[in-house]
Structure 1
Amino acid sequence: MTNNDFLLPKSFYLRDDVVQIAKELLGKTLVTRQNGAARKGKIVETEAYRGYDDKACHASNGKRTPRTEVMYREGGCAYVYLCYGIHHLFNVVTNVAGKADAVLIRAVEPLDGDWSDRHPKTKTSNGPGKLSKAMGITMEMNTARLTGENDIWIEDAPDIVGTSIVASTRVGVDYAGEDALLPWRFYICNNDWVSKK
């Protein structure tokens, strides 16, 4: 059951600074519900993508396709897409409708026990594809609201004040020219669940 007392408010997602939101999502709790049971992970790694002038963004400079249409919705919904025909990648749409900003959630730290049933031979959630598999995130969750109406949501958590946050370039966006050098990947320093670049 969703506890509305802990949900991130809609206003969190509607702000216009996707880079700041990507930083502030660190430490928050990503929750999915499957067969009535909740699975929770602390967000430990994110990447920001800005629709209007970021060549690494799927919706760069107003590009609209059936896949990216969800990015133009009002912030606070899920953008899930299939990468390489294999991995489901989960993004948080931000900003007001029409802006196409989003934050890729790259890694979470399990908060509710052993997840080895999902990835028995490797860490379960230290990468965007693995975390989606571990948390049951699929294309069925694309466009889902993250504010408690669906089986995926984000809960607030104590600020990670005093924790070192590392900024680096994003992963796998070399095609984006100078935008590939933007330091818009953020992760919690020395956390064992951060993905390897």
Structure 2
Amino acid sequence: MKRLGRVFYNRPAIEVAHDLLGKYLVHVSGGVERVGRIVEVEAYLGPHDLAAHSAKGMTPRTKVMFGPPGHAYVYLIYGIYHCMNVVTDREGHASAVLLRALEPVRNVAGPTQGPGLLCRAMAIDRRLHGHDLVSEHFYIAAPPRAEPVVMVKRPRVGVDYAGHWAKRLLRFYIRGNPFVSKP
């Protein structure tokens, strides 16, 4: 599998979100290579997007989002679940793509339908916050064979507080894939 390069991530979040569908998330941990096919994502467009964590400006938590593209933004929700975003666009823009669901490919145990479950199954936690996704052991790659993807657009999940941003069609998933969290 060929790892994606920095130029892939250095584009608007919506473009990266579309192109992440069907790619492979790879995490080598404890000598085990876990691989999952990305089947659902959400785009967060920067500080003007009221659903984005960056809407409150740069904080110790969101600093990674303002950094260079191609890094992992990993955070904890409800004190239980980790979630992973891929930082996109130019440095300082603070946009990202949340990985919402994976189709297990290799060595992935447990459910992967939802960002917290995905992280648990892939052994992703805060230790990977800020990790460079262009490096070894934790990266996104093109699959060995590209499979056709029919994309569905829907509103993001769980961002009702964000006013009109909650209704924007910024959640994308592969039509008919049984691993999508909320078809």
TM-score by length of 2: 0.95
Q: Which residue of 1 aligns with 2:69?
A: 75
Identity %: 45
Distance, in Å, in 2 between the alignment partners of 1:131 and 1:39 is 11
Pick the structure with more strand per residue.
Answer: 2
Q: Which residue of 1 aligns with 2:93?
A: 99
Distance, in Å, in 1 between the alignment partners of 2:107 and 2:90 is 36
How many residues align? The count is: 182
Q: Is the 8 A contact 2:33 2:107 kept in 1?
A: no
Q: CA deviation at 1:72?
A: 0.5
Q: Secondary structure at the match of 1:154?
A: strand
Letter in 2 for 1:103: V
Deviations 1:110-165 (CA, angstroms, capped at 9, x unpaired): 001562xxx3xxxx10110001000000000000000124x31100124443x321
Letter in 1 for 2:133: L
Q: Secondary structure at the match of 1:103?
A: strand
Letter in 2 for 1:107: A
Distance, in Å, in 1 between the alignment partners of 2:124 and 2:50 is 26
Q: CA deviation at 1:52?
A: 3.3
Alignment of 1:177-192 (within 5 A): 177-192=163-178
Paired residue for 1:155, among 113, 117, 141? 141
Paired residue for 1:143, among 130, 143, 165? 130
Distance, in Å, in 1 between the alignment partners of 2:37 and 2:175 is 14
Find runs of 4+ consecutive structure 1 residues off by over 2 angstroms. 157-161
Distance, in Å, in 1 between the alignment partners of 2:150 and 2:87 is 25
Q: Which residue of 2 aligns with 1:33?
A: 28
Change in 2 beyond 3 A, CA 1:114/1:30: closer
Distance, in Å, in 2 between the alignment partners of 1:71 and 1:114 is 27
Q: Which residue of 2 aligns with 1:131?
A: 118
> Structure 1, unaligned stretches of length 5 or more?
none
Paired residue for 1:172, among 139, 150, 158? 158
Q: Secondary structure at the match of 2:92?
A: coil
Distance, in Å, in 1 between the alignment partners of 2:47 and 2:108 is 40
Letter in 1 for 2:87: V
Change in 2 beyond 3 A, CA 1:37/1:171: same
